[in-house]
Structures are given as C-alpha cells and as structure tokens.
C-alpha cells in the first residue's frame, strides 16, 4: 500500500527518514519498501526554523497500519498529478483538417495551451504582440534607465512569458489540480531546477524564467508550432456566430480555430476586442493598493528572531486583515530580497509591481498591500455612463494610474510616502533609499486614492504592525499604485471553457478572469487545450 505522510522532520537529502516514517505510520522500519520526498517546507511558527517534509511511502501490504494517524493518509490519484508523477505528454492523434488552433498571447496560459495542443498533434499558430525574451529584456532595461521610450507593444507585461517574466517567478498555487505534474515537469525539462518539484513555496526568479523560455520556444517549434512575435491581433473573425480566425494589426488575416485568447490582465484592447466580437463578460471585484518596501534584514528579524537568518532563505510573509466592518486587506506577491519595478504598458501611466532574481539577494523586501474594491465602487466613482460596460473596472484603474503619473511629475517616477507619515496624514519630508529604478516623488498618497481605499489601507497597515513589528515604522515605504493584481472582468464560459456566446472562442488565463499567477494561468490554458483535444476525438 502507498501512503502520504506529512509533517516529517527533514534534515537534508543525506539523512535517513525511514525511522521517523515508520514511527509516523506505526510499522517496523523494514516493512517500508520505498519512500520519496515529494514536498518540503520551512516551519517557522514560533520561530522553530525547522524543515518539514511530505513523503510518498510504500509499505508491504500485509504490514499496513491498522489505524492511520492525522498526518498519514492513503496516496490517491489526485496526488499523482499534484506531485509530478502523472506528467506524460498527451497521446498524439490525427486532427480534423478544419481544426487548426490559434493561440493569442505567449504568457503562461498561452504557452502551455500551445504546448499541450502541439504535443497532441495539432497544427498550432501562436501569436504574441511583444518580442521574444532576449529582445524584450533589453527593451525593458532601456526604458527603466531612461535610454528609450516606453514600448506599448513589448514591455514588462507584453512579450514572451507574459508579466511573469519580470516577477518573483512564484510557481506555487492554492489550486490542487491533477495537471500540476504536467506543468512542473515541463518547467524542469526546460531548465528549472528539479528542486521546484518538491518545494512547497517554489519560485524561479526572473533570471531563471528568462533562461527557461528559449528552450520552451524551441520545443514548440520542434512540434511544428508557428510561433510569431510582434504580431498584435486587432480583431477576431466572426462568421455565423463562431470565431474562425483573427486579423492582425498589419492587416494580415489568419484563419483557423478554435481561437484561445490569453492576453493577460493588462491587455485592455485585447479584452475589448473579445467584448466587441460578442463574448459575454461581466465586471468583477479586484484588490488595489501599494507596494510596501522594507529592508530585508528587518523582515528577517521579525520572522526568524535575533541572530540573523543563517542558512535559511530570506524571510517572507503573507498577511490578511478581515475586520467585522470595513474593507478586507491583504498582502500579495511578496518578494523577499527583491525590488519594486515600473509595470505599465500604457503611456503616461504609472503602475508598480514586485520582482526578484532567483537568489533573492537584494537589500529590500517588498509586497503589495491591497484592499478590496467592488463593482459598486467602480460604478459610484465613474458615474452612470460606465454602468453597463463590462470593462468599467479598467476605466477605474486607468483613472488612478493617470493621476499617479501626474503626481510623479509627469514622468515615470512613482509617488511614494513613508508608511508612518501616511498613517498620520502628513507628507514625507524625505524618503528612504529604494529599489525602484525610475525615481520617486514624495507625495501624500491620500490624494491618489478614493477615501474608501485609503481608509482600508490604513486599517490593514495598522493590523500588520501587530504581526510584524516595524511594518509601519519610518523604514516602511509605500510606492504607488499597485492596480493590476488581477483582471476586473470575467468572461462567461461553458464547461469546455468556450465562450457561451461565441463558439470557438476560448478566453483563458488572468485576463479572462480565471487565474491569479503563473501556475494558475498555465493550468487554465492547459485545461482549455485538453477540452479542445477531447472534442477533436468526437469530430
């Protein structure tokens, strides 16, 4: 029999866990046939600073424990996918000549959708408005350093890899789908460390993501995928209520289908394109706020205690504030040893995000601190002329981003304020040193946000001070605004993930309103590709 055993002390790859596994199972050590570490995580509760492991353990059937403890359960088929064992390629098949999938967007959703379809034998076209990663990095760095203007087509959010290319590269998720094995194994195939298969809080770092993307692209082309960069889609071809292709900004018509659109949460024109084509969508609530930056050493002290962190990784945190009355707030996309970066794709707009490299060695730690904003907020703040627009949340975001550009001096400098000064309602006379590469302007951030958002941020920050002493001290720096945590629209899909109103159109990933990170976006694209593949068998 095979069991999943959790909460086992992990002392490194060379240590023998069998005695502890046998104790946890209630069997003799020689009754264990095989074992494998499938996940490890750091237990820092009460500053224990110990690593704990989850193991797959096979025991002799005639010596199975009579009663299972809470930390032990039977291994299931779901665990096969979650822990990377069910990771084989889909079976290749002959596709109908009329089925030639088009994937729009080379972020995680689009890349994994294209990969799965191609491995299943489909003739796939992958269209990306931005450039491949090698060129994209130079474009972004040139803009950050003031050597070139913002490129609205290839930037921090558009281009190969999507917005995740310039991020912490977190690849953990709260989703527990069986397809996780497919995704993680492919990442390792393309160059990720095998350690990501067993780390509970695995991350890649922007440098490793950039190294993974070229082998990923090469594999797609080996499978026959027509991968095109600099190919912005301006319109969907709709005939008889079905999507039968796309029109590029160049005027070229590309016929095929089904069409999977994974353009990300910042491609407002691409999402408008789907609405204009008849795709049913509805606005959804989001969370908006700021990036808060502290010295990493301060976070280490608060999380690990005195004496430094030693061999432990830079400390991170995940904080929530759920008052009985008022706005909920939480931290998001925490980047230990990282930097705050400009993340707009629109001229004369300021947006910030967090990023880190694999080693996480930067002086600072940063995280978004965000507060819920509802559809009713959008409607109240924008006025009745926007009430019937499913994309009104983007107009609400854009208003804040434009105001941030103005407050930053009509450059791409970001408005900023010390946390302590924000809470006391005063402007910061000085700002601490920061990782943000395009400059900061000291501004009272209460002028940037609506009152309901400023009040929610203040309450959340005060609550976080009780969990991390010093969070609201003069060392804490607020850099604004963090507006693009997720998409403020959701496209309505059927069980196949196809649009309920346009046959052959598959809105996928973060922009469609069904994901919130690299892995969840990849899962969403993969699931749509699997549904299309299964449907091809019935054609």
Residue 135, classed as helix, strand or coil, is helix
Helix (H) or strand (E) holding 453: helix 451-465
List 5's β-bridge partners, or say none. Answer: 55, 72
What's the pLDDT at 88? 62
Q: Which range, of 29-38, 117-126, 220-229, averages the lowest pLDDT? A: 29-38
- What's 102-282+487-538's CATH class? alpha beta
What's the mean pLDDT in 454-476?
96
DSSP string, 377-414: HHHHHH-GGGTT-TTHHHHHHHHHHHHHHHHTTSSSPE
d(CA 445, CA 419): 10
DSSP string, 143-175: HHTTSS---SSSSSSSSTTGGGGGS--B---S-
209 in Cβ contact with 164 (< 8 Å): yes
Asked if pLDDT for residue 49 goes beyond 70, the answer is no
Query: 29 or 201: which carries more pLDDT confidence?
Result: 29
What's the pLDDT at 75? 84
Q: Is the dihedral of CA 16, 19, 20, 25 positive or negative?
A: positive
Q: Is the dihedral of CA 260, 83, 13, 311 positive or negative?
A: positive
List 371's β-bridge partners, or say none. Answer: 288, 329
Kindly report the pTM of this predicted structure.
0.87
Could you read off the pLDDT of 321-359 as tens digits, one per residue?
999 888 999 999 999 999 999 999 999 999 999 999 888
Could you read off the pLDDT of 391-404 as tens digits, one per residue?
999 999 999 999 99
User: How far is CA 436 from its chain centroid?
Assistant: 21
Residue 438, classed as helix, strand or coil, is coil
What's the pLDDT at 214? 96
Asked if pLDDT for residue 52 goes beyond 90, the answer is no
What's the pLDDT at 85? 52
Query: 538 or 330: which carries more pLDDT confidence?
Result: 330
Alpha helices in 63-144 (DSSP H): 77-82, 108-119, 133-144
Q: Where are the domains of the chain?
A: 2-75, 102-282+487-538, 285-482
Task: Read off the tokens for 144.
Answer: 């950050």
Where b means 16+ CB within 10 Å and e means fewer, 65-91 reads: beeeeeebeebeeebebbbbbbbeebe
Of 391, 450, 441, which Cα lies nearest the Cα of 412?
441
335 in Cβ contact with 355 (< 8 Å): yes
Percent helix, percent strand, percent coil in the chain, to nearest 5: 30, 25, 45
The radius of gyration of the chain from alpha carbons, rounded to an integer in Å, stands at: 24
333 in Cβ contact with 461 (< 8 Å): no
Q: Is the dihedral of CA 492, 494, 498, 499 positive or negative?
A: negative
How confident is residue 149, by pLDDT bands cut at 50, 70 and 90? very high
What's the pLDDT at 169? 74
As separate numbers, helices (DSSP H) first and strands (DSSP E) second, the chain gives 13, 22
Query: 263 or 91: which carries more pLDDT confidence?
Result: 263
Q: Which range, of 20-24, 210-214, 294-298, 526-530, averages the lowest pLDDT? A: 20-24
What's the pLDDT at 500? 98
Asked if pLDDT for residue 177 goes beyond 80, the answer is no
Per CATH, the number for 2-75 is: 3.30.70.2700
């Amino acid at each position: 029999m095979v069991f999943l055993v959790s909460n086992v002390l992990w002392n490194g790859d060379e240590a023998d866990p069998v005695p502890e596994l046998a104790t946890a199972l209630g069997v003799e050590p020689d009754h264990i046939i095989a074992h494998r570490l499938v996940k490890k995580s750091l237990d820092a509760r009460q500053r224990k600073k110990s690593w704990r492991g989850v193991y797959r353990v096979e025991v002799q059937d005639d010596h199975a424990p009579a009663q299972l403890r809470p930390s032990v359960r039977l291994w299931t088929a779901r665990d096969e996918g979650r822990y990377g064992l069910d990771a084989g390629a889909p079976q290749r098949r002959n596709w109908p000549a009329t089925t030639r999938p088009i994937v729009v967007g080379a972020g995680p959703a689009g890349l994994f959708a294209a990969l799965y379809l191609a491995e299943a034998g489909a003739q796939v076209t992958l269209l990306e408005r931005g450039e491949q990663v090698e060129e994209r990095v130079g474009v972004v760095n040139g803009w950050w350093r003031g050597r070139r203007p913002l490129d609205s087509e290839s930037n921090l959010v558009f281009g190969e890899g999507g917005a995740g290319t310039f991020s912490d590269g977190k690849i953990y998720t709260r989703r527990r789908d069986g397809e996780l094995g497919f995704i993680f194994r492919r990442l390792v195939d393309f160059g990720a460390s095998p350690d990501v298969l067993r780390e509970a809080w695995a991350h890649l770092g922007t440098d490793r993501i950039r190294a993974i993307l070229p082998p990923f692209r090469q594999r797609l082309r080996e499978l026959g995928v027509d991968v095109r960069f600099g190919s912005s889609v301006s319109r969907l071809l709709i005939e008889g209520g079905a999507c039968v292709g796309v029109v590029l900004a160049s005027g070229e018509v590309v016929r095929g289908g089904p069409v999977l659109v994974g353009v990300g949460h910042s491609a407002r024109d691409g999402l408008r394109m789907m609405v204009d084509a008849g795709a049913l969508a509805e606005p959804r609530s989001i969370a908006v706020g700021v990036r808060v930056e502290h010295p990493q050493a301060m976070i280490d002290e608060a999380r690990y205690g005195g004496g430094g962190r030693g061999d432990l990784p830079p400390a991170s945190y995940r904080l929530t504030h759920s008052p009985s009355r008022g706005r909920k707030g939480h931290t998001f996309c925490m980047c230990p040893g990282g930097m705050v970066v400009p993340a707009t794709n629109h001229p004369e707009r300021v947006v910030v995000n967090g990023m880190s490299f694999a080693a996480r060695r930067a002086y600072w730690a940063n995280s978004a601190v965000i507060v819920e904003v509802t559809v009713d907020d959008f409607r109240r703040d924008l006025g009745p002329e926007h009430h019937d627009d499913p994309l009104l949340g983007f107009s609400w975001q854009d208003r804040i981003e434009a105001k941030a550009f103005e407050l930053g001096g009509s450059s791409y400098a970001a408005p900023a304020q010390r946390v302590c000064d924000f809470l006391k309602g005063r402007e910061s006379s000085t700002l601490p040193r920061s990782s943000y590469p395009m400059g900061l302007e000291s501004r009272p951030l209460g002028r940037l946000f609506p009152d309901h958002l400023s009040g929610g941020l203040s309450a959340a920050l005060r609550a976080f001070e009780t969990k991390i002493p010093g969070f609201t001290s003069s060392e804490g720096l607020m850099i604004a605004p963090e507006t693009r945590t997720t998409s403020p629209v959701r496209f309505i899909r059927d069980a196949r993930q196809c649009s309920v109103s346009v046959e052959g159109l598959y809105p996928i990933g973060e922009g469609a309103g069904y994901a919130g990170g690299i892995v969840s976006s990849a899962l969403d694209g993969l699931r749509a590709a699997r549904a299309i593949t299964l449907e091809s068998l019935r054609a």
